[in-house]
Amino acid sequence: MRTLDNPHGLHIDVDGSGPPLVLLHGWAMHGGVFAPLVDRLQAQRSVYRVDLPGHGASRDSTLPLALAPVVDALVEVLPAAPWLGWSLGGLFALHAAAAHPARVPALTMLCASPCFVRGDGWTHGMSAEIFRDFETGLRTDYRGTLDRFIALEAFGSDDPKGELRALRAEVFARGEPAAGVLADGLALLEKTDLRAQLPTLRVPSLWLAGRRDRLVDPRAMQAAAALAPDASADTVAHAGHAPFLTHADAVAARLLDFTDFHVSR
């Protein structure tokens, strides 16, 4: 493993060899959470794992946790490659694919939605109050709030205890994420709506859901895929919100098939 130097204070791990692939983590986590997936990809891919600003080893990055500045900074330093975004990371990956299709020639949304909150014409999102409750909780019970969110991520998996242990072990593995940045991330999840970018998306996309996910309804991902011109939707049976932990073989196989077909030929 090596670290990719960049002027923005972003920590980017690089593992393996072969065509490049970029992985973006979810709220409160860091690139290290993808270790089981990297183990299965690194023989065939050069995997770039990004710690988003304020998270993990990017805690001191001066970049705000906002779509445009983070994506613009990443496309400056990363090779042209498919991007995979898990949960919150999916918003960054989708924005990158829409804004920089030459740099992001294929997109995988893993348990991620263009709009996480339900509203008019979008019935499969979460209630906005859930995100506001977590934001309030960060101010009153920081660690307890993180633990409640992690428990919600693990709920529904066929191995909830194992997934919960893995997520708890990772959340502070690279230091505590900054509370202010976590609030910014919750605001992104609550307020961002990228559905308008889907009909004009110029790169192929894979929308890979966990059938038992309680944070991102698989029906939301199917609805999003239906809005994009070159998209496919698939579901990992028995998986919750983090299928790369409990079903890493299935996620890796689907991801390799998708990128082999669309990019690495």
Active centre residues (catalytic): 87, 213, 241
Per-residue exposure over 180-189, b if at least 16 CB sit within 10 Å of its own CB, e if not? ebbbbbbebb
* Contact status, residue 224 vs residue 195, Cβ threshold 8 Å: yes
CB 135, CB 126: distance < 8 Å: no
Which phi and psi angles does 81 have, rounded to 5°?
Answer: -165, 155
Amino acid found at 69: P
- CA 105, distance to chain mean position in Å, is 17
Amino acid at 83: W
